[in-house]
Homo-oligomer: A and B are copies of this chain.
């Protein structure tokens, strides 16, 4: 997951048998996919012309299938391609906005900044979420679950643990919890 060592794709045999003239990605190294000019053109066509940004799985597969005419390609390549392009375009936009604001622009903000709908550029990092402070993820919605903010004085049974545990960052001190123990905590006593 975190390891960068990419597992060698075992299928390092038939790469691109197509002896096309202009669609050879230069080097059929098994490493990372590089779109052929044709593939790229088609992808861009889909993205820009058709405004396809997040293709559904079905679309991904169809696109992939179609693009295989022009060279080897896998579904994940298509997926990543769209995702990357989208992300990077958006990031550029965001960057631009920040620059614009930081640079000189000063939009007409009324002294009364009550219009919160106005999307002022927050120079924040982008973390719009309020996880950090003390946590409390409250993720699984739809269930009962109260917002803990300080400390629940009763046995919580829900999903508030997520962020609320900031226990000692120090380890190796005696707190030897075994995996078995963890696993055995299925029917953990709810202290009830």
Q: Measured between C-beta atoms, what is the minimum distance from A98 to chain B in Å?
A: 6
Output the nearest chain B residue to A97 by Cβ-Cβ distance: B57
Within 8 Å of chain B (Cβ to Cβ): is A29? no
Kindly identify, within residues 157 to 182 of chain A, every residue whose CB is under 8 Å from any CB belonging to chain B: 157-172, 175-179, 181-182
Within 8 Å of chain B (Cβ to Cβ): is A121? yes
Within 8 Å of chain B (Cβ to Cβ): is A142? no
Total copies of this chain within the assembly: 2
Bound CA–CA A40/B65 (angstroms): 35
Name the interface size band of chain A.
Answer: 35 or more
Output the nearest chain B residue to A50 by Cβ-Cβ distance: B183
Whether B42 contacts A109 by the Cβ 8 Å rule is yes
Whether B132 contacts A57 by the Cβ 8 Å rule is yes
Within 8 Å of chain B (Cβ to Cβ): is A192? no
**Chain A interface helix/strand/loop/mixed:** loop
Output the nearest chain B residue to A89 by Cβ-Cβ distance: B1
Whether A10 contacts B17 by the Cβ 8 Å rule is no
CB-defined contacts of A41 to chain B, threshold 8 Å: 110
Whether A133 contacts B171 in the complex (CB less than 8 A), given A9-B159, A75-B161, comes out as no
Whether A132 contacts B164 in the complex (CB less than 8 A), given A18-B117, A172-B22, comes out as no
Bound CA–CA A94/B56 (angstroms): 13
Output the nearest chain B residue to A109 by Cβ-Cβ distance: B42
Q: Measured between C-beta atoms, what is the minimum distance from A72 to chain B in Å?
A: 5
Whether A149 contacts B186 by the Cβ 8 Å rule is yes
CB-defined contacts of A5 to chain B, threshold 8 Å: 12, 139
Whether B7 contacts A139 by the Cβ 8 Å rule is yes
Within 8 Å of chain B (Cβ to Cβ): is A108? no
